[in-house]
Amino acid sequence: TKVVHWFRGKDLRMQDNTALHHASDLAQSSNVPLICVYIYWPSEESWHGTSPARVDFMIEGIKILHKELKAQNIPLVFLNADKREDYVSVFEKFVQEHDVSHVFANYEYEVDELRRDIKFVNDMSDKVHVQIFHDQTVVEPGTMTTGAGKPMKVFTPYHRAWLSLIKSEPELLDTHPAPKANPQSFTKNLKPLFDTAAPKPSKDKLFASDEDKKRIRKMWPPGNAAAAKRMKSFLSQIEDYAATRSNPAKNSTSRLSAYFAAGMYSPREALSELRKYNKGSADFSEGSAEKGVYAWVREIVFRELYRQTTMCTPHTVMNLPQNLKFDFVEWEDDEEGWEKWYKGTTGEPFIDAGMRQLNTEAYMHNRLRMNVSSYLYCNLLLDYRRGERYFAETLIDWDLSNNTQGWEPGYTVFNPVSQAERNDPDGDYIRKWVPELKDVKGKAIFAPYARLSKEEFEKLGYPKPHVDWKETKARAMERFKRDMKDA
């Protein structure tokens, strides 16, 4: 018999992988081989709109994993499923053909993924033993409940409860060891399994040019070792995180999101490194930990809560807003505005800078994500789901829970001029991404059309604002009120 670990797209690492660790333990104690399987379903990428940057990042990461596992004499078998419906049956066939006794995997919390697991467990329960583990978060989604026993949805109480749980149960941050090697005596038996080919992206998921591919790969080297290195370097500057995290020109955040999203690095790995930095203490609360440490853990807690939200309010991953009233809003059909938004030519420097960073780096600073999303569904009054999809199609760190929660519509309309003045006070971020404005002096950089003379403005070759911010803010508020009144 054999024990199988089934890799999904969110746990692509050997280190601190909960299900893989338990699979390895069982294989070792029963003296049977451990094999790993990854099922590649190219149309899944189109289904979710996954960006070429993320597909490439994952495939390159899987190749690294393949090598690391091989060094442990553990095969990583690639199975292909052409159609969505085949996904489970392809794996079931493999399990039966290869005399597999146990299948281990880590949970994915999205609805379709949970349904897939239910089908698999139902179909296979009399043939193999299936065990699925919580792995994506430090605290299991669904376990943080209100006094009434309902899963918490509100950040502040969740954050407070999370910090106190980690303080009292610091072992939650302990990491699992990587799997042990299969004994050499198994090699002959496993040989054919070592030979399957790593997946290739479908044609529409290839980078537009080799230059794009090179640039992105250099910026985002895949794999657990690259992530650990990034964490180490981030720790050397975490002191400044609280003060500078909202200034996109400072570039002071960890840029670990792509690694967390693909599971190339786990939050336990990150937080156990942070615990060392925090003098061995798992008390990350305000006042006890350094400001930067407290502020960074707070972001990790958002990520944790958003997985709980996905699991407990599944409509949020089925194209519906958390606040269902927003589904009644009549959105505008401003195609020109849409094109200007995604190309970064709206005439609002902060918005354009953000979108151009996204289109170049497959990444955007969080402050800009907040601004460009608000601009899209409040000022352009375009359906927020179009922006959500564009992010999925472009970001290297696309993560369904973080993206849907990030795009959750609300009533706050960000003012891109005052946001830029506060968060990019020297205009350096705008100058970097909007070169038409690089020579604009002083505060005019934040609103060149309003603050320069007509003549000076026309020389720049930069568009004037597509919409009037104040008027469109008022329009959005009226529209939301009108359409949600009876909802």
User: Interface with ligand FAD by CB under 6 A: which range of 81-89, 393-401, 460-468, 479-487?
Assistant: 393-401
User: Does 397 participate in binding ligand FAD (rule CB under 6 A)?
Assistant: yes
Contacts 24+ apart (CB under 8 A), 240-244: 240/292, 241/291, 241/292, 241/295, 241/296, 242/291, 242/292, 242/294, 242/295, 243/291, 243/292
Rounded CA-CA distance 300/271 in Å is 9
Q: Reduced to 3 states, what is the DSSP secondary structure of residue 200?
A: coil
Minimum separation from the CB atom of position 44 to ligand FAD (A): 16
Does the annotation place 398 within a ligand binding site? yes
Choice between 299 and 332, CB closer to ligand FAD: 299
User: Does 302 participate in binding ligand FAD (rule CB under 6 A)?
Assistant: yes
Q: Is 121 exposed, middle or buried (0-12, 13-18, 19+ CB in 10 A)?
A: middle
Minimum separation from the CB atom of position 259 to ligand FAD (A): 8
Look up residue 289 and give its DSSP letter: B
Q: Reduced to 3 states, what is the DSSP secondary structure of residue 76?
A: strand
List of E strands, 15-93? 34-40, 76-80
User: Does 326 participate in binding ligand FAD (rule CB under 6 A)?
Assistant: no
Cα dist from 108 to 134, 263, 280, 293, whole Å: 9, 11, 31, 28
User: Does 370 participate in binding ligand FAD (rule CB under 6 A)?
Assistant: yes
Taking phi first (over 0 means left), then psi (-120 to 50 degrees means alpha), and beta for anything else, what does residue 144 get? beta
Minimum separation from the CB atom of position 95 to ligand FAD (A): 32
The sheet that has 34-40: what strands, in order across it?
76-80, 34-40, 2-7, 100-106, 129-133
Minimum separation from the CB atom of position 230 to ligand FAD (A): 9
User: Does 357 participate in binding ligand FAD (rule CB under 6 A)?
Assistant: no
Q: Binding ligand FAD by CB under 6 A: which of 299, 332, 428, 436?
A: 299
Q: Binding ligand FAD by CB under 6 A: which of 398, 414, 429, 469?
A: 398
Positions 373 through 392 that interact with ligand FAD (CB under 6 A): 373, 391
Q: Binding ligand FAD by CB under 6 A: which of 20, 256, 264, 396?
A: 256
Rounded CA-CA distance 8/317 in Å is 18
CA nearest to 161, candidates 301, 303, 311, 313: 301
Q: Binding ligand FAD by CB under 6 A: which of 230, 303, 307, 356?
A: 303
User: Interface with ligand FAD by CB under 6 A: which range of 7-15, 180-188, 206-214, 364-372?
Assistant: 364-372
Minimum separation from the CB atom of position 337 to ligand FAD (A): 18
Does the annotation place 304 within a ligand binding site? yes
Q: Binding ligand FAD by CB under 6 A: which of 182, 254, 278, 379?
A: 254
User: Does 186 participate in binding ligand FAD (rule CB under 6 A)?
Assistant: no
Place of tokens 């899963």: 151
Choice between 6 and 107, CB closer to ligand FAD: 107
Question: Are 463 and 356 contacting, i.e. CB atoms less than 8 angstroms apart?
Answer: no
Does the annotation place 301 within a ligand binding site? yes
Does the annotation place 97 within a ligand binding site? no
Minimum separation from the CB atom of position 26 to ligand FAD (A): 31
Contacts 24+ apart (CB under 8 A), 478-485: 479/329, 479/330, 479/381, 480/326, 480/329, 480/411, 483/328, 483/329, 483/330, 484/325, 484/326, 484/328, 484/329
Positions 402 through 461 that interact with ligand FAD (CB under 6 A): 402-403, 406-407
Rounded CA-CA distance 364/53 in Å is 13
Does the annotation place 296 within a ligand binding site? yes
User: Does 253 participate in binding ligand FAD (rule CB under 6 A)?
Assistant: yes
Residues that bind ligand FAD (CB under 6 A): 245, 253-257, 260-261, 299-300, 302-303, 306, 366, 369-370, 373, 391, 395, 397-399, 402-403, 406-407
Known binding-site positions for FAD: 241, 253-257, 296, 299-306, 397-399
- Binding-site residues: 241, 253-257, 296, 299-306, 397-399
